[in-house]
Amino acid sequence: MLPFKLIYSDDYYLPIGEHVFPAEKYRLVHQRLLETNVAQRGDFLAPQPASDRDVLLVHTPQYVEKLTKGTLSAIEAMQMEIPYSQELVRAFWLSAGGSILAAEQALKHRVAFNLGGGFHHAFPDHGEGFCMIHDVAIAIRRMQRDDKIRKAMTVDCDVHHGNGTAAIFAGTRTGSEPLPSVAASTLNPAGKMRGAHAGDVFTISLHQKNNYPAWKPASSIDVDLPDGMGDDDYLAWLYNALSSGLRQFEPDLICYLAGADPYREDQLGGLDLTIEGLKKRDELVFRVAKTRDIPVMVTYAGGYAQRVEDTVTIHCNTVVAAKEVFSD
Ligand SMILES: [Zn+2]
């Protein structure tokens, strides 16, 4: 048995037809974890859908009504870049419920996974970039409402900027200052770290600068990475961002978005990380969280490798990394 729980449902599958988003990846990850004996059946927990009340902790009543009644405008539906349906609404509500359960489980067992979620491009009043509602933000607001946490930190390692996360938790900000860095001399000078923070949720995003979304609202820390950055430089920037963030802010929960799309063979990404480098990335986040005794919940976010098996391997490796770090 794993020393933590994996939240999963076959109904995470997104009914979106032929699409660059591999909706089958959730089932394939579940299957691979069992086949490779990384996990046993008893390691999985089934989620309940989030309630509308939970979703309304983050999203506007107007937007929630449009989703549940199917009255999005043509432009709003197009902006989401996945075909709207009632089944799709149910899948996203279920994913959000999975992230809520993962947050609760993380608080009990130091770490937990939602084997899905990470829909970081959803805004309070609209969805975009394959994201309808923001499961991670909903989980954070629900934990706060239930008085289970006061402060959370998002660590977004998807190759795309966490624009929805930044917008939702923007709070009131002061102007950007250059951030102190622990080992600036070791960092690839082409990358850039910027940020300012105010509020109860500290947001970190490491992403490829020249990629979607064009408009990147300010996170607490944004690390803009140049095209083609490889494992070592990426890990140095990640370490730097985590160290800087945790010097400024003491979260009760870390929400790690373990996107598989910084992978060198990703169709929608332009970084150059290897499968091994991505696993080191996961280990780094888990070691930092464990050392500081901060619970961490994991969601998967994007992953569009040319071979879907690679996306599945990268996502499964995140579970393996947690197993290695937290088994003691
Ligand atoms: Zn992405």
Q: How far is the CA of 132 from the centre of ligand 1 (A)?
A: 14
- Which of 266-298 are b and which e, b meaning 16 or more Cβ less than 10 Å from the residue's Cβ? bebbbbbbebebbbbbbbbbbbbbbeeebbbbb
Q: How far is the CA of 231 from the centre of ligand 1 (A)?
A: 17
Q: How far is the CA of 1 from the centre of ligand 1 (A)?
A: 31
Q: Is the pTM of this model over 0.85?
A: yes
Q: How far is the CA of 260 from the centre of ligand 1 (A)?
A: 8
Q: How far is the CA of 159 from the centre of ligand 1 (A)?
A: 5
Q: How far is the CA of 167 from the centre of ligand 1 (A)?
A: 17
Query: In terms of DSSP bridges, do strands 152-156 and 253-257 run parallel, antiparallel, or are they unpaired?
Result: parallel
Burial degree of 324 (CB within 10 A; 0-12, 13-18, 19+) = middle
pLDDT, tens digit, 9 for 90 and up, residues 155-179: 999 999 999 999 999 864 444 445 5
Kindly report which listed range (12-16, 28-32, 182-186) carries the lowest average pLDDT score.
182-186
Burial degree of 81 (CB within 10 A; 0-12, 13-18, 19+) = middle
* CA distance linking residue 298 with residue 172, whole number of Å: 27
Which residue from 3, 5, 87, 102 is spatially nearest to 48, judged by alpha carbons? 102
Q: How far is the CA of 49 from the centre of ligand 1 (A)?
A: 24
Fill in the amino acid letter for 313.
T
* Predicted pLDDT at 174: 42
pLDDT, tens digit, 9 for 90 and up, residues 282-315: 999 999 999 999 999 999 999 999 999 999 999 9
Mean of all residue pLDDT scores within the chain: 94
Q: How far is the CA of 134 from the centre of ligand 1 (A)?
A: 14
pLDDT, tens digit, 9 for 90 and up, residues 66-94: 999 999 999 999 999 999 999 999 999 99
What integer is the mean pLDDT of 222-247? 97
Q: How far is the CA of 158 from the centre of ligand 1 (A)?
A: 5
Q: How far is the CA of 262 from the centre of ligand 1 (A)?
A: 8
Fill in the amino acid letter for 298.
V
What integer is the mean pLDDT of 10-20? 90
* CA distance linking residue 172 with residue 2, whole number of Å: 41
Q: How far is the CA of 283 from the centre of ligand 1 (A)?
A: 20
pLDDT, tens digit, 9 for 90 and up, residues 31-65: 999 999 999 999 999 999 999 999 999 999 999 99
* Residue 81 contacts residue 130 (beta carbons within 8 Å): yes
Q: How far is the CA of 193 from the centre of ligand 1 (A)?
A: 19
